[in-house]
Amino acid sequence: MGAPLINQAMKHFKSQVLLILSEVPFGSCISYGELAKQAGFPGYGRQVGQLMKKLPKDTKLPWHRVVNAQRRISFAENTDGYLRQKEKLEKEGWVIVGNKLTLNEGK
């Protein structure tokens, strides 16, 4: 692990990701990579995923609006996280077919 990111930068990375995530509007979604890029750390998509994983269940952050670049839920279909994310997304107007997201408007 070379340390491209010192502890302080990592902390900044996390707060930036959480900040941007908190600003994702209702009914919208963003990819892990895009979130990382906007946070100022392109290529850290996986780290964003790790961060999501560690979020508390009662978090106020719209973590469910984060999907991968293919607009698919990265969870396995039989996982709790997948079900919860799917449920939240559907309440925001998204339609999940398989694990693929489709916006239920204008269509």
Catalog residues that contact DNA under the rule CB under 7 A: 1-5, 10, 31-34, 43-50, 52-53, 55, 63-64, 66, 68-70, 74-75, 81, 85
Which residue lies nearer to DNA by CB, 44 or 94? 44
Length of the chain (residues): 107
Give the nearest distance from C-beta 32 to DNA in angstroms: 3
Task: State in angstroms the smallest separation of the CB of 105 from DNA.
Answer: 20
- Whether residue 69 contacts residue 95, with contact meaning beta carbons closer than 8 Å, is answered with no
Of 71 and 104, CB closest to DNA: 71
Minimum CB–partner distance for residue 72 and DNA (Å): 8
- What is the sign, positive or negative, of the torsion defined by CA atoms of 105, 29, 57, 46? positive
Nearer to DNA, 49 or 104 (CB): 49
Residue 95 CB, shortest distance to DNA, in Å, is 15
74's CB contacts (< 8 A; 6+ apart) are: 32, 49, 67, 68
Strand partners of residue 97? 100
Contact 54, 18 (CB under 8 A): no
